[in-house]
Copies of this chain bind each other. A is one copy, B any other.
Amino acid sequence: QIEGYILDHFRRNQTLKDVNVLITAGPTMEPIDPVRYISNHSSGKMGFALAKAALLCGAKVTLVAGPVHLEPPAGCTYHSVKTTKEMHEIVLQLFDQQQVVIKAAAVADYRPAEMAMQKIKKNQTDLTIQMVKNPDILLELGKKKTHQILVGFAAETEQVAAYAADKMKRKRLDLMVANDVSREGAGFQHDTNEVILMKPSGEMKEIPLASKEIIAQEIISEIVTILNRK
């Protein structure tokens, strides 16, 4: 019922009418060889819920997603990518024309230094995978940003607020969505989430356990507030 009320409110107000919003979602997948890969447990649900919420507010949404098992919401421009490098390339390309960028994707921070062209045979008892750092997309966007509102996510398993506050500062974010993915019902794979919204001013707002749709609407509301104050 509350959800219905908020949706109606959004639809009536079209608070993001014709605003260009870029959202990234899901994990990325880094190949070790043609068969094996490294990835993470992001399902893309949070990013897709954000895309839907932004569309309802009249935004022009571009959704860039890693490998997920979800239907892209009707009305968005959809780009499917695999690796962090691919996501990096397309997001940087599209950045200039955006007013709002929400990086909900859980990109792989590292990738195997080399991808084997053939399947690695299991002759050895041990195997060492050398990993190198991927480009830090959010950090680059923070440095590059001019007019854009930049929203980041921090998925942590300990010292959540401290890590998230540090990340917000280093990456010059306008809004940080922090969540403790080790909590019951929060974060990856779940249909629910529980987050803390943090702003550079030090303002914090806890959003208790709710569906990712509700959480998405709260985040979008916060973004609208920030946009209106600009």
Q: Which residue of B lies closest to A134 (CB)?
A: B122
* Chain B residues in 8 Å Cβ range of A32: 38
Q: Are B122 and A35 in contact (CB under 8 A)?
A: no
* Chain B residues in 8 Å Cβ range of A182: 34
Q: Which residue of B lies closest to A158 (CB)?
A: B118
* A127 close to chain B: CB less than 8 A: yes
Binding site for B on A (CB under 8 A): 32-41, 69, 106, 108-110, 113, 118-119, 121-122, 124-133, 155-158, 163, 181-182, 188
Q: How far is the CA of A142 from the CA of B73 in the complex (A)?
A: 49
Q: Which residue of B lies closest to A188 (CB)?
A: B35
Q: How far is the CA of A116 from the CA of B157 in the complex (A)?
A: 11
30 A-B contact pairs sorted by A residue (CB < 8 Å): A32-B38, A33-B157, A34-B157, A34-B181, A35-B106, A35-B157, A35-B188, A36-B38, A36-B39, A36-B40, A37-B40, A109-B122, A110-B122, A110-B127, A113-B126, A118-B157, A119-B156, A119-B158, A121-B163, A124-B133, A125-B133, A126-B130, A126-B133, A127-B133, A128-B128, A128-B129, A128-B130, A128-B131, A129-B129, A129-B131
Q: How far is the CA of A94 from the CA of B95 in the complex (A)?
A: 55
Q: Which residue of B lies closest to A108 (CB)?
A: B36
Q: How far is the CA of A36 from the CA of B181 in the complex (A)?
A: 12
Q: How far is the CA of A182 from the CA of B127 in the complex (A)?
A: 23
Q: How far is the CA of A119 from the CA of B109 in the complex (A)?
A: 12
Q: Known A-B contacts: A119-B156, A121-B163. Give 4 more (CB < 8 A).
A: A33-B157, A35-B40, A109-B122, A127-B131
* Chain B residues in 8 Å Cβ range of A35: 40-41, 106, 155, 157, 181, 188
Q: How far is the CA of A158 from the CA of B41 in the complex (A)?
A: 31
Q: Which residue of B lies closest to A117 (CB)?
A: B157
Q: Are B126 and A122 in contact (CB under 8 A)?
A: no
* Chain B residues in 8 Å Cβ range of A163: 121
* Chain B residues in 8 Å Cβ range of A33: 157
Q: Which residue of B lies closest to A163 (CB)?
A: B121
Q: Which residue of B lies closest to A34 (CB)?
A: B157
Q: How far is the CA of A35 from the CA of B42 in the complex (A)?
A: 8
* Chain B residues in 8 Å Cβ range of A122: 109-110, 133
